Amino acid sequence: MALVYQRTCGLLDVPFHYCPGCTHGIVHKLVAEVLCELGLLDGAIGVSSVGCTYNNYEYFACDMQQAAHGRAPAVATGIKRVLPDATVFTYQGDGDLAAIGTAEIVHAAARGERITTVFVNNAIYGMTSGQMAPTTLVGQVTTTSPYGRDAATQGFPINVSEMLATLRGAVYVERVSVTSVKGIRAAKKAIRKAFLVQRKGLGFSFVEVLSTCPTNWGLSPVESLKWVDTAMQEQYPLGVFKGADLEVEP
């Protein structure tokens, strides 16, 4: 018998600290698998952000830096400008990227930094226990929108992928989900493409992954997948927003 699925070499053999059913673990696996399969792991430097993934530098087998809240794209810019041949990526959640770090992500994209951002959007602040995020849906109950997000006073969700796709420096932008095996395969393809775009020096590449937070959503892990497929996808449709026709496969 041959192994048809085994642990990826891109992750250290350390248990994740994430809650049961949280899809961060799936996204970590995909990033690590892509880096290994493309032979990029040894020359990769990742940037962890603030939120549930604050310490994912302990998981990835490549060199890692940990950034202040929202600043990962600036830190990644500093790294990439020193090491233009390295593969540099940020791994950020929606609180980090779409609120406190809005300026950094927009300008890294606008500059066309040759970095890759994996943006995990679960429509809530997980680490700080379920507060409203910029990506929280209208009507969604969180600890800081206990009556549901009221658009009149708390505004509307930000569709980050669509927004970044308007910038010339952002050459590849796609939104995926990891709620099924099919979705996970598509997500991996997108992450692979994003890294290849970076390797080709084409510009900034961005993959938004719709993800779950069963703990703070108050749903079971399986119910959470279904909520992504229905409620979240209504606000955040999957698809390629930029660079669909880029040919980057070696």
Partner 1 sequence: MDRLPDRVLMKGNEAIAEAAIRAGCRHYFGYPITPQTEIAHYMAKRMKSVGGVFLQAESEVAAINMVYGAAGAGARVMTTSSSPGISLKQEGFSYIAGAELPCVVVNVARCGPGLGGILPAQGDYFQATKGGGHGDYRNAVLAPASVQELYQLTVEAFDLADRYRVLVLILADGTLGQMMEPVSHLEPKDATAAGKPWATVGTGGKRFHNTITSIYIDPERLEAHNLHLQAKYAKIARNEVRCESVGVEGAEVVVTAFGTTARIVRNVIRQAAEEGIKVGLIRPITLWPFPSEAVAAAAAHPSVKALLSVELNAGQMVEDVRLAVNGAKPVQFHGRMGGMLPTQREILERIRAIARPEGGT
Partner 2 sequence: MARVEFREDRCKGCGLCVEVCPKHIVAMRCDVLNAKGFHPAGVEAMDQCIGCAFCAIMCPDEVIQVEK
Span of 74-82, 117-125, 158-166, 196-204 interacting with partner 1 by CB under 8 A: 74-82
Site track for partner 2 across 18-57, x = CB under 8 A: xxxxxxxxx--x----------------------------
5-44 positions binding partner 1, by CB under 8 A: 12, 41-44
52 touches, from partner 2, partner 1, none (C-beta below 5 to 8 Å by class): none
Among 55, 129, 166, 220, binds partner 2 (CB under 8 A): 220
DSSP, residue by residue, 25-74: HHHHHHHHHHHHHTT-GGGEEEEE-SSTTTTGGGTBSSEEEE--TT-HHH
Span of 16-24, 37-45, 79-87, 116-124 interacting with partner 2 by CB under 8 A: 16-24
Tokens in use for 102?
Answer: 């809005």
CB-based contacts of 70, cutoff 8 Å, min separation 6: 49, 50, 96, 97, 99, 100, 101, 102, 103, 104
| 15 touching partner 2, by CB under 8 A | yes
| 164 touching partner 1, by CB under 8 A | no
Pairing mode of beta strands 63-66, 44-48: parallel
* Residue whose tokens read 């010339």: 168
Span of 30-38, 47-55, 157-165, 208-216 interacting with partner 1 by CB under 8 A: 47-55
Among 22, 32, 34, 47, binds partner 1 (CB under 8 A): 47
3-state class (DSSP) for residue 179: coil
